[in-house]
Amino acid sequence: MINPTRRSILSAALAVPASRLFGANDRVNLVIIGIGGRGTDHIKEYSKLNSCRVTGICDVNQAARERGAALVEKLTGSKPNEYPDMRKVFDDKSVDAVSIATPNHWHALATIWGCQAGKDVYVEKPASHEIWEGRKMIEAADKYKRMVQVGSQGRSIPYKIKAMQLLHDGAIGKVYMAKGLCYKRRKSIGHTPDEPVPAGIDWDNFLGPAPMRPFSMNRYKYNWHWFWDTGNGDIGNQGVHEMDLARWGLNKNTLPNSVVSTGGKFAYEDDQETPNTQVATFDYGDSRLVFEVRGLITNPEQGIMVGNIFYGTDGFMTLDEKGYQIYKGEKKEKVNDESLKEETWDTSPHMQNFLDAVKSRDNKHLAARVDIGVTSAALCHLANISYRLKRELAVDPAKWSFPHDTEANAMLTRKYRAPYIVPDKV
pLDDT tens track, the chain, 426 positions? 444 433 333 344 444 456 788 887 799 999 999 999 999 999 999 999 999 999 999 999 999 999 999 999 999 999 999 999 999 999 999 999 999 999 999 999 999 999 999 999 999 999 999 999 999 999 999 999 999 999 999 999 999 999 999 999 999 999 999 999 999 999 999 999 999 999 999 999 999 999 999 999 999 999 999 999 999 999 999 999 999 999 999 999 999 999 999 999 999 999 999 999 999 999 999 999 999 999 999 999 999 999 999 999 999 999 999 999 999 999 999 999 999 987 666 899 999 999 999 999 999 999 999 999 999 999 999 999 999 999 999 999 999 999 999 999 999 999 999 999 999 999
Same domain, 31 and 137: yes
Could you tell me which of 93, 110, 127 has the C-alpha nearest to residue 59? 110
Same domain, 138 and 46: yes
The CATH number for 82's domain is 3.40.50.720
Assigned domain for 119 exists: yes
Range of the domain at 293: 157-193+233-341+376-412
Same domain, 66 and 37: yes
Same domain, 168 and 70: no
Q: What is the DSSP string of 34-59?
A: --SHHHHHHHHHHTT-TTEEEEEEE-
Q: Is 60 left (phi over 0), alpha (psi -120 to 50) or beta?
A: alpha
> Beta-carbon neighbour count of residue 329 at 10 Å?
9
Assigned domain for 254 exists: yes
d(CA 109, CA 378): 16
Same domain, 274 and 398: yes
pTM of the model: 0.94
> Beta-carbon neighbour count of residue 1 at 10 Å?
4
Assigned domain for 106 exists: yes
Same domain, 131 and 18: yes
Assigned domain for 265 exists: yes
Same domain, 180 and 279: yes
Q: Which helix (H) or strand (E) holds 353?
A: helix 348-360
pLDDT of 184: 98
Same domain, 184 and 103: no
d(CA 400, CA 281): 17
Same domain, 115 and 258: no
The CATH number for 283's domain is 3.30.360.10
Same domain, 144 and 177: no
pLDDT of 18: 61
pLDDT of 344: 65
pLDDT of 12: 41
Assigned domain for 205 exists: no
**Total number of domains constituting the chain:** 2
Same domain, 40 and 185: no
**CB of 235 closer than 8 Å to CB of 263:** no
d(CA 63, CA 36): 11
Assigned domain for 4 exists: no
Assigned domain for 222 exists: no
Q: Which helix (H) or strand (E) holds 109?
A: helix 107-116
d(CA 269, CA 190): 7
Beta pairing partners, 302: none
Same domain, 285 and 362: no
Assigned domain for 245 exists: yes
Q: Which helix (H) or strand (E) holds 379?
A: helix 370-389
